[in-house]
Copies of this chain bind each other. A is one copy, B any other.
């Protein structure tokens, strides 16, 4: 399965074409709508007030409620766009955004309104595509759960990488603030609201588990490697700046005697620990695939910022108005799950 996103934040519509979808998949629209709702804005005081309906119209690839096997296109009309918010500051590059790089890359022809194609809004069709991928993976016994592991300096309860508490993960995914430990979640939300009150924003870390992936899939080759597949998809998500598997950057202060996951006998061979995050040499080993993703603080903040006018090259002050999340993590949880589902769906042997 491969996807192509299209659309600009304030253009007519955004959407996605999914190729390689297995035929005969029953499209559980209830599930798909629920996934879209997890990412949708307007759910909480932490999120932007923009109230897109994000209703996906499936225009191809589905017949009599099942996938046909041909390309599936999902379309989301843009209905609640207030472009005037952006025109005045067209040439003032917003720090932390892609305005400046897009301006260079596209020679000034980019649709600058609301970040255009770089907008977080493009994660809506991504979540839709991910929901289709999840349905395909579910048929094969795989499930994906992400949660907020850390934000604004507050950490959620740790999970056993080798044998995580699946019910706790499942429950977290249903919360509007996806953590295991609600007390810590409240501390996080308090810190986020403090940042917002100061006209600021925060970043954080999302941890994602893929359960049920059979052992022996993937390859050391970078075109079929599970780690590179996840990386390709995760780094294509706006605001992601880092990815690590298993114990990740924690390996730096570990010793081999701890980091090596000892093999243990059983119905099938498993490992005692899962520091390697379920992957060795780019191939799944039958343990949960676990990875962490760092999300940078929302670049759109209320404070005045230093910038440059891209036409004149002169220094300027910028105040971003409009509606923005002080912390993108709650809405990014289903996005990272979607990226994971799409990445795994691409690995030969996972769906076929």
Contact = CB atoms under 8 A, between A and B. Distances in A.
A42 interface: no
A313 to B, nearest CB: 5
Contact of A24 (B7, B107, B200, B222): B107
Contacts of A222: 232-233, 235-236
Nearest to A342: B222
Contacts of A23: 105-107, 109-110
A265 B105 contact: no
A6 B243 contact: no
Given A60-B12, A111-B68, A280-B96, A296 B105 contact: no
A59 interface: yes
A48 to B, nearest CB: 14
Contact of A220 (B108, B236, B303): B236
B242 A251 contact: yes
A253 B204 CA distance: 7
A205 interface: yes
A66 B283 contact: no
A282 B8 contact: no
Given A202-B256, A281-B102, A296-B259, A24 B109 contact: yes
B11 A297 contact: no
Given A19-B221, A68-B110, 6 more contacts: A4-B17, A67-B109, A96-B280, A262-B306, A262-B307, A352-B352
9 contacts: A6-B71, A11-B59, A12-B57, A70-B116, A201-B257, A205-B252, A225-B235, A259-B299, A260-B305
